[in-house]
C-alpha cells in the first residue's frame, strides 16, 4: 500500500477528497499530508446548491495528530465556488471546523488530555503544541458545550450560589450550580449585586426564576438581596458549611485571645477545628487536655458541636426553630463575645438558618465543586483572567458536551 493511500484510510475521507502526497521534513521532524478535492462539482456553503469549481484559495494548513512523534499537518488548496448571485465562497472541509487551523481529531485529543491533566501547559507540551492553541480549544469547546446544553436536563427547582476566590486581594467569582445534577450552570466575575443579577438573568428565564423553590447560599448581602429580588418564590437556605465556618472562625478568635495568657493553647488550632476522626494522635492528646480545662475556647468548641447536633434531628420548621432558640440562649449565656457575635448574626437570619436545619438541599454539592475548582486552580497554577477561569470551570465541571462533531 502506498503511503498516500494509507493516510487516506486513516483520515477516512469521502471519495471527493483524496490524499495525493505525503512529504516529510527530517530536519524539523514534520509531516505534511496534502489533500486535494477530486470531485467535478461542489456544494456552495451559502445556498447549498452544487456548482463547478470557480478557483482555489491559497494553501491552508491544519495541525493534525503526530505521526511517530513527527509534528503532522494537513495541507490543501480549497476549492471556491461562485453562486448565482455572484458571491464567491470557500468550501468547508470534513476534517476541521471552518475557522480553526487544527483538525477535529487533534482537538478531540487535546480535550481528552486536558480532562485528565487539568493543566493547559502540560497538555500543550505533551501534544507538541502551544499553550495558545490548547487555551483556544478549551474556550471553543466550552462555548460549543454551552450552546448544546439542554436546559431541561438541569433542575431549576433548587439552586446553589457560592463564591470562589479568583486572584489575590479579595477577588472573587460567583458560581451558580445545580445541586441535583452537581454541575456548574455558569460563573460570573465578582460577587456584587450586579454580577449576581447578571448571572441569574443569563442562566434562567423569567419563568424559571419564578419557579425556583430553594436557593442555598451564605449570608453575603449581595447574594441574599438579589436572590429575594430575582427568585421571589424561593426559600433561602443558609448552607451548613458556611454556618459551621462562622463558628469555626469564632473558636479561632477565642483561641488567639486566650493563647496570650495560656501557653497550653499554643499549636492547638487544628486540634480544635479539625473533625475529631481526622485528628492525629498528637492532636487528639492536645484536644483532650484543652477540653478538660476551663478555657473559653473549650466552651466555644462545645457551642459549635451543639449546633452541629441540630442537623441530625428530624424536626419540622416549628420544632427546629424552638431548638435553635434554645441553642442561642445557651450559647449567649456562656458570655463569650466572639461566639455571641456569631449567634446574634444567626438569629438575625433566623428563617435561612432554620431552613438549613430542616432542608435536604444545601451547599454540600456546591462545596464539593468548590474543592474541585480549587484543584483546577492549584494544578493550573492560577488563572490570570476571568475569561480563562470561567472556561476552565465550565470545561471541567459544567457537564457539557465538549467534543467536535464532524
**Residue 401, Cβ density class (10 Å: 0-12 exposed, 13-18 middle, ≥19 buried):** middle
Comparing CA positions, the residue from 34, 65, 69, 118 lying closest to residue 396 is 118
Check: CB of residue 51 under 8 Å from CB of residue 91.
no
3-state SS string for the chain: CCHHHHHHHHHCCCCCEEEEEEEEECCCCEEEEEEEECCCEEECCCCCCEEEEEEEEEEEEEEEEEECCEEEEEEEEEEEEECCCCCEEECCCCCCCCCCCECHHHHHHHHHHHHHHCCHHHHHHHCCCCHHHHHHHHHHHHHHHHHHCCHHHCCCCEEEEEEEEEECCCEEEEEEEECCCCEEEEEEECCCHHHHHHHHHHHCCHHHHHHCCEEEECCCHHHHHHHHHHCCCCEEEECHHHHHHHHHHHHHHHHHHHCCCCHHHCCCHHHHHCCHHHCCHHHHHHHHHHHHCCCHHHHHHHHHHHHHHHCCCCCCHHHHHHHHHHHHHHHHHCCCHHHHHHHHHHHHCHHHHHHHHHCCCCCHHHHHHHHHHHHHHHHCCCCCCHHHHHHHHHHHHCCCCCCCCC
* 273's grid cell: 477545628
Check: CB of residue 19 under 8 Å from CB of residue 7.
yes
Q: What is the mean pLDDT of each run of 10 residues along the chain (406 residues)?
A: 81 89 94 94 90 93 94 96 92 92 96 94 94 96 91 77 80 89 91 96 92 92 95 92 92 91 84 81 83 87 93 86 96 95 95 89 66 82 85 94 84
Residue keyed to cell 463575645: 337
What pLDDT is attached to residue 153?
64
Domains and CATH numbers, the chain: 3-144 (no CATH), 153-239+387-397 (3.30.420.10), 240-358 (no CATH)
What pLDDT is attached to residue 164?
87
Comparing CA positions, the residue from 200, 205, 179, 204 lying closest to residue 188 is 200
* 12's grid cell: 477516512
pTM check: above 0.75 = yes
Residue keyed to cell 477516512: 12
Amino acid at each position: 500500500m502506498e503511503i498516500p493511500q494509507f493516510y487516506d484510510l486513516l483520515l477516512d475521507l469521502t471519495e471527493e477528497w483524496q490524499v495525493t502526497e505525503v512529504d516529510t521534513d527530517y530536519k524539523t521532524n514534520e509531516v505534511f499530508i496534502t489533500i486535494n478535492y477530486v470531485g467535478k462539482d461542489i456544494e456552495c456553503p451559502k445556498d447549498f446548491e452544487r456548482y463547478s469549481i470557480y478557483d482555489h484559495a491559497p494553501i491552508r494548513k491544519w495541525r493534525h495528530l503526530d505521526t511517530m512523534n513527527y509534528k503532522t499537518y494537513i495541507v490543501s488548496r480549497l476549492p471556491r465556488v461562485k453562486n448565482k448571485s455572484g458571491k464567491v465562497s470557500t468550501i468547508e472541509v470534513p476534517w476541521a471546523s471552518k475557522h480553526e487551523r487544527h483538525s477535529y481529531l487533534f482537538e478531540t485529543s487535546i480535550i481528552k488530555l486536558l480532562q485528565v491533566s487539568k493543566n493547559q501547559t502540560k497538555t500543550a507540551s505533551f501534544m507538541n503544541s502551544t499553550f495558545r492553541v490548547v487555551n483556544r480549544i478549551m474556550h471553543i469547546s466550552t462555548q460549543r458545550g454551552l450552546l448544546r446544553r439542554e436546559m431541561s436536563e438541569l433542575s431549576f427547582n433548587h439552586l446553589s450560589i457560592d463564591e470562589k476566590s479568583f486572584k489575590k486581594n479579595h477577588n472573587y467569582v460567583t458560581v451558580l450550580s445545580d445541586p441535583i445534577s452537581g454541575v456548574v450552570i455558569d460563573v460570573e466575575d465578582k460577587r456584587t449585586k450586579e454580577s449576581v443579577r447578571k448571572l441569574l438573568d443569563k442562566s434562567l428565564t423569567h419563568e424559571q426564576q419564578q419557579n425556583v423553590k430553594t436557593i442555598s447560599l451564605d449570608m453575603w448581602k449581595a447574594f441574599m438581596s438579589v436572590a429575594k429580588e430575582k427568585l421571589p418564590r424561593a426559600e433561602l437556605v443558609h448552607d451548613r458549611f458556611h454556618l459551621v465556618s462562622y463558628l469555626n472562625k469564632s473558636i479561632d478568635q477565642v483561641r488567639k485571645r486566650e493563647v496570650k495568657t495560656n501557653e497550653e493553647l499554643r499549636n492547638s488550632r487544628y486540634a480544635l477545628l479539625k473533625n475529631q476522626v481526622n485528628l492525629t494522635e498528637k492532636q487528639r492528646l492536645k484536644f483532650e487536655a484543652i477540653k478538660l480545662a476551663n478555657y473559653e475556647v473549650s466552651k466555644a468548641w462545645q457551642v459549635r458541636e451543639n449546633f452541629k447536633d441540630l442537623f441530625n434531628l428530624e424536626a419540622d420548621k416549628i420544632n427546629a426553630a424552638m431548638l435553635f432558640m434554645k441553642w442561642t440562649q445557651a450559647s449567649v449565656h456562656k458570655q463569650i463575645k466572639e461566639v455571641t457575635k456569631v449567634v446574634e448574626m444567626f438569629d438575625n437570619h433566623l428563617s435561612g438558618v432554620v431552613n438549613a436545619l430542616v432542608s435536604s438541599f444545601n451547599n454540600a454539592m456546591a462545596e464539593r465543586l468548590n474543592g474541585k475548582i480549587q484543584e483546577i486552580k492549584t494544578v493550573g497554577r492560577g488563572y490570570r483572567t476571568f475569561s480563562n477561569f470561567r472556561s476552565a470551570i465550565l470545561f471541567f465541571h459544567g457537564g457539557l458536551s465538549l467534543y467536535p462533531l464532524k
